[in-house]
Every structure is written in C-alpha cells, then in structure tokens.
Amino acid sequence: MRGLLDKLAEGCELTEQEWKFLIAGSYDRNLLYARADEVRRKHYGTNVYIRGLIEITSYCRNDCFYCGIRCSNTKARRYRLSEEEILACCDSGYQLGFRTFVLQGGEDAFFTTERVAQIVTAVKEKYPDCAVTLSLGERERAVYEAWYQAGADRYLLRHETASKEHYEKIHPQELRYEHRIQCLQDLKQIGYQTGCGFMVGSPYQSTEALLADMQFLRKFQPHMVGIGPFIPHHDTPFRECAQGSLTQTLTMVALTRLLLPGTLLPATTALGTIHPEGRELGLKAGANVVMPNLSPAAVRSQYSLYDRKACTGDEAAEGLESLKRRVEAAGYQVVTDRGDSRLGQ
Ligand code: SAM
C-alpha cells in the first residue's frame, strides 16, 4: 500500500489493477489521507483559499437527471440576478476578504455572450486584484473566447464522469459527452485556468468509471478539480437513489491530490452537506479551497441542486469568521489571496 502511494506521488503511471485497488479502499484509508495532506502541505503549505460563490441564475435549459434545477422540474423556483445585484455581492465579498468571485448558474439564454462579458468587465474594473471564475456550462468556443477577452480568469465545468457509457445514463440524449470534453479542451487552449470534476456515487457509477476519471485527470491536467458526493433531489428521476458516501468522496479527493499535486481542490459544499465535518475532513484529505455562498440570502434556497444543500452558517460568506475558526482548528488557515493554481510547479 505505501509502495503504491509512493509510486503515485512520484508521478509514476499505475496499472488498472493498482488504480482499482486504491479506489476500492480495502486498506487503511487514513494512510492515504495523511499522504495526500503531506503532498498538499509541500505545494500549498497550510493555506486554504476562499472563493465567493455567486449563483447568478437558477434557470437552465438542460435536463440532467440528477440536478434539481433541470428544466423539466416545474416545481423549481427560478431567479436571475441583475448586474447590480452581482456587483453588490462582490462588494460585500471583497470587504470580507474574498479575492475570487465564482459566477455560477444554469445554462440560461438570458445570460448572453454580451451580457456576461459586460458583467465580467464591470467586476474586473472594480476589483482588478480579484480573479473571476465562470461556471455557466457548455458554450461555443467563440463565447468562451469573448468572456476570456473580457477578463475572466478561470472556468469550472465538471466533466461529471469520464465514462461515456456512464455519462449517457445520467444525462438526456441531447447532452453529449464528447461536447463536454471538447468544451474543456477549448477552455484550456484559450488560456483559462480550467476546472473539471465529477460526482462520487452518482447512479450507475462503477469502479471502472472512477478509474476513467483518474485517467482523464492525468491526461487533462486541470488547474482545479471539483469532487463532491452525489446527493439526490426529491424532484428528479434519481430521487430514490442512494447518496454518494463520505469515505469514497474523501478517497477520490486524496487520490486526486496525489495524482495532481499542484491542482486546486475544493472541499465542496456537497461534502459539507452530507457530514457536519465534511469540509474539515476534505481539507485533511488534500483539499485546499472552500467556496462559501455569496449569493443574496433571499435567493439561496432557490438554487436547489440537491436536497438539504447547505447555504447558511459556515457555508455562507457571512459565516466566514466561524469558518476561519474551524479551518484553523483543523490545522490550516484561510488566506486573503487569489489562490492561483500551481499546476506543473
Ligand atoms: N451549469 C453549469 C454546469 O453545467 O457546469 C454549472 C451549474 S451545475 C448545477 C454545477 C454542478 O452541480 C454540476 O456540475 C454537478 O456536478 C453538481 N450537481 C448537480 N446536481 C447534483 C446532485 N444531485 N448532487 C451533487 N452534485 C450535483
């Protein structure tokens, strides 16, 4: 087991069998978490980077089977933030110490190329020392280019699963695996710090699918990787499915840290939702980013991707002081910094 972790940490390629053994976790997982923590400290010290998450729209044209804001969920409450509201979120975030704003939303035609470019320009003009991350789904390359020209620094687009077969079981036919991967490649080529990622324990996921995720990460070399447990939403076709497990999610976070020592890894909101100490456990397994919610309090519950999604307390930007204390108690510290990726360093 230790030999295998050494091999992975040294950048050696593992066989399929070795990967499957590591993913299955029939060993003392604390050894894996400790090794991942060691590697994270080597590259990032004890720094924890914070991102202010602004959920700009709950409208979405897509119908992903797992997601609470899928277009055919007629019970979902929908909202859009105006440019003024988004800037007001950035204002309060900046005061709190955030130096990255993440503008996330469903695929909403209202947010045209020009409208998003205008918002990005406005945020960057007001806060030139901050990074802007977009997470607005699949668009044409020319659209990504326009937003990059407007000043966006980073883009998050989880690949969701690197197994095409699995992808097709959790998405409707019109969403194509190849297109999602093409978008990620375009984003990276354009120059964005690019984040991909996947859910752990999503319906029909096999060890082979998780192995495909690891192989994809190795090839793609993302600057960020968002890994969170699948959590069912009561108004989706997957309402009866089991949620992803804490230990399996932590295992995938730790393996990703060893595979990509310089990448940025959030201890995701979903991880914090399934366990009261999910965030701390994520940090101890190699994660180094947290993304508290900066959206206006009045709309937060409407961005309902899965049941019980945490958006108050330490998940909320206003709860930053308490989050800082918890991060410190876990042995790390929240820093006021853009927190750029050290991939390849
Ligand atoms: N529309 C953008 C996109 O497709 O990347 C960003 C918004 S999307 C709702 C953000 C992420 O939420 C997805 O990439 C997915 O991994 C996650 N998500 C959606 N439903 C979820 C669920 N039921 N459990 C856990 N994560 C979920």
CA of 64 to the centre of ligand 1 (A): 9
Site to substitute for ligand 1 among 57, 65, 66, most atoms within 8 A of C-beta: 66
Residue whose CA is closest, atom 4 of ligand 1? 137
- For residue 344, the model assigns a pLDDT of 63
Contact 219, 248 (CB under 8 A): no
- For residue 309, the model assigns a pLDDT of 81
Question: What would the two tokens of residue 148 be?
Answer: 């990059």
CA of 88 to the centre of ligand 1 (A): 25
Residue whose CA is closest, atom 3 of ligand 1? 137
- For residue 2, the model assigns a pLDDT of 82
- For residue 311, the model assigns a pLDDT of 72
Atom of ligand 1 nearest to the CA of 157: 5
Atom of ligand 1 nearest to the CA of 156: 5
- For residue 237, the model assigns a pLDDT of 98
pLDDT, averaged per 10 consecutive residues of the chain (345 residues), comes to 90 95 96 97 97 97 98 96 97 95 98 98 98 98 98 98 98 98 98 98 98 98 98 97 98 98 96 95 98 91 87 75 94 94 74
Residue spans of alpha helices (H) in the chain? 2-9, 16-24, 29-44, 83-96, 113-126, 141-149, 164-170, 177-190, 207-220, 246-259, 269-274, 278-284, 297-300, 320-329
Site to substitute for ligand 1 among 59, 158, 177, 184, most atoms within 8 A of C-beta: 158
- For residue 28, the model assigns a pLDDT of 96
Residue whose CA is closest, atom 13 of ligand 1? 158
- For residue 345, the model assigns a pLDDT of 57
Residue whose CA is closest, atom 12 of ligand 1? 305
- For residue 317, the model assigns a pLDDT of 72
pTM of the model: 0.97
